[in-house]
Amino acid sequence: MAMDFEKLMQQAQQMQEQMAKAQEELAGETVEASAGGGMVKVKATGGLEITEITISPEAIDPNEPELLADTVLAAVNEALRSAQQLVEAKLGGAMGGMQGLGLPGL
C-alpha cells in the first residue's frame, strides 16, 4: 500500500508541475475579440487578464455613452470567453488526468 501511495504522490507532483507550466504558458498567450463591427477591440491573456482595449473614434458618441459602454462590455466578455476556451483547451487534458486519480475537489 505504501508503494501505491508514493506513486500516487509522484503522479500528483508531476501533474502539479505540468499545470504550473501550462498556466505560465497561458499567461503569455493572447486572444482578441471585438464588438460593434470592430469599433471596440479587446485583448486578453490566457491568464484571464485584459491587456488592451482599443476604441475607434467613431464609437465615441457623446450623446450615447451607454452604447459605447455596452459595446466595450460585449467585447470584454467575448475576450474573456475566448481566453477561458484557451485555458480549457490547454488544461483540459491535465485536469482530466487529475480526475482519474480520484482526488476530491480537482
3-state secondary structure 23-83: HHHHHCCEEEEEECCCCEEEEEECCCCEEEEEECHHHCCCCCHHHHHHHHHHHHHHHHHHH
**The CATH number of domain 32-91, selected from 3.30.420.40, 3.30.1310.10, 3.20.10.10, 1.10.8.60:** 3.30.1310.10
Tens place of pLDDT for every residue, the chain, 106 residues? 556 888 889 888 988 888 888 888 888 899 999 999 999 999 999 889 999 999 999 999 999 999 999 999 999 999 999 999 988 888 776 555 554 444 444 4
Provide CB contacts within 8 A for 52, sequence distance 6+: 41, 42, 43
Identify whether the C-beta of residue 72 lies closer than 8 Å to the C-beta of residue 36.
Answer: no
